[in-house]
């Protein structure tokens, strides 16, 4: 990342007190399946904070895996393995559906339903995007609500789409990337429908094996969204999710040169120098910026 290539780990990393502070104590649901093919070395994302684990359900799909929370009624993370061929195939079939649906695999009351989003003022924002998916059936699976979080239209149709496009082009350039996407909650307990919590920001972690590096886009979930890029270590300390547990600390501590978000086709006049631009910050500002973005 130009001008911010070393978001190094320091002794003063900010440990965010997330929404997990008010999670009820409960046991996590035992997982009966595993889908390691979407993660480096088969090591799936790990919840570093045990308070994130109540009522979680691992869901394996054809092209991605997600971990649903029955407390916030949405995924805590969604993981995919994106390749050059997958991106090309996805582009050739285009979007084949817009039909969102509840996830019947979840225990009763643990998943969002369509009425939760109706007249809520929020978009149903994909974590693993349909535009990454190379088959019609697998693309339909991305429209399940266990792969969706509430996002503002400004974020979902603007710079977030640009982030997704940039990651696809990175996969095309380097051949393969591992991607984990999820929400962050802080500073607000606002919900929609039946207590579907609205994230304060959403993040997308990327590991590029060819480049030997990783980084995380973090974007504010508001009406004037901005994004920044931070290290995997910063994400772990701030959100409590390790997207790539098999990676070395050296890779996690450094920020790779991720591409800037591209112009969204839904907002063709949006410039990368506009209010939705990617904010590139230096070493001393990295953690402070992440803290501010998640809190606001």
Q: Which of 175-179, 199-203, 273-277, 285-289 has the lowest mean pLDDT?
A: 273-277
Of the listed ranges 128-137, 183-192, 205-214, 220-229, the least confidently predicted one is: 183-192
**Average pLDDT of the chain to the nearest whole number:** 83
126 is catalytic: yes
Residue 191 lies in a domain: yes
Residue 19 pLDDT more than 70? no
For residue 29, being part of any structural domain is answered with: no
In a domain, 209, yes or no: yes
pLDDT for position 192: 96
Q: What is the span of the domain harbouring residue 66? A: 36-288
269 is an annotated ligand-binding site residue: no
Residue 104 lies inside a defined structural domain of this protein: yes
- The answer to whether residue 169 sits within a structural domain is yes
* Mean pLDDT value across residues 77-106: 92
Give the residue from 165, 5, 140, 145 showing the smallest Cα distance to 82. Answer: 165
pTM (whole model) above 0.75 = yes
Q: For residue 1, tell me if it sits in a domain.
A: no
| Domain-embedded: residue 108 | yes
Tens of pLDDT along 159-174?
A: 999 999 999 999 999 9
Give the CA distances from residue 26 to residues 18, 23, 105, in Å, rounded to whole numbers and listed in that order.
17, 9, 20
pLDDT of residue 33: 72
Looking at per-residue pLDDT, the higher value among 139 and 97 belongs to: 139
Query: Annotated catalytic residue: which of 73, 101, 126, 237?
Result: 126
In-domain check, residue 74? yes
Q: What is the mean pLDDT of residues 278-292?
A: 42
Domain count, the chain: 1
CATH code where residue 145 lies = 3.40.570.10
């Amino acid at each position: 990342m130009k001008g911010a290539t070393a978001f190094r780990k320091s002794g003063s990393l900010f440990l965010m007190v997330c929404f997990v502070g008010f999670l009820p104590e409960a046991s996590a649901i035992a997982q009966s399946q595993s889908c390691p093919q979407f993660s480096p070395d088969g090591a799936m994302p790990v919840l570093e904070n045990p308070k994130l684990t109540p009522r979680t359900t691992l869901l394996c799909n054809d092209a991605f895996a997600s971990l649903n929370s029955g407390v916030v009624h949405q995924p805590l993370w969604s993981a995919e393995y994106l390749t050059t061929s997958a991106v090309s195939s996805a582009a050739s079939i285009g979007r084949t559906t817009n039909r969102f649906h509840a996830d019947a695999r979840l225990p009763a009351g643990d998943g969002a339903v369509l009425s939760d989003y109706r007249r809520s003022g929020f978009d149903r924002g994909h974590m693993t995007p349909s535009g990454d998916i190379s088959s019609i059936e697998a693309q339909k699976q991305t429209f399940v609500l266990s792969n969706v979080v509430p996002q503002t239209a400004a974020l979902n149709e603007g710079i977030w789409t640009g982030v997704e496009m940039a990651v696809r082009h990175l996969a095309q350039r380097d051949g393969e990337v591992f991607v984990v996407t999820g929400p962050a909650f802080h500073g607000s307990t606002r919900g929609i429908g039946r207590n579907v919590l609205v994230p304060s920001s959403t993040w997308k972690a990327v590991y590029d094996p060819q480049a030997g590096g990783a980084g995380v886009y973090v974007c504010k979930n508001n009406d004037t969204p901005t994004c920044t890029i931070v290290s995997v270590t910063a994400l772990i300390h701030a959100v409590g999710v390790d997207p790539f547990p098999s990676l070395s600390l050296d890779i996690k501590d450094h920020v790779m040169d991720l591409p800037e978000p591209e112009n969204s086709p839904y907002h063709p006049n949006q410039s990368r120098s506009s209010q939705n631009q990617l904010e590139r910050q230096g070493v001393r500002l990295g953690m402070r910026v992440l803290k501010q973005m998640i809190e606001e």
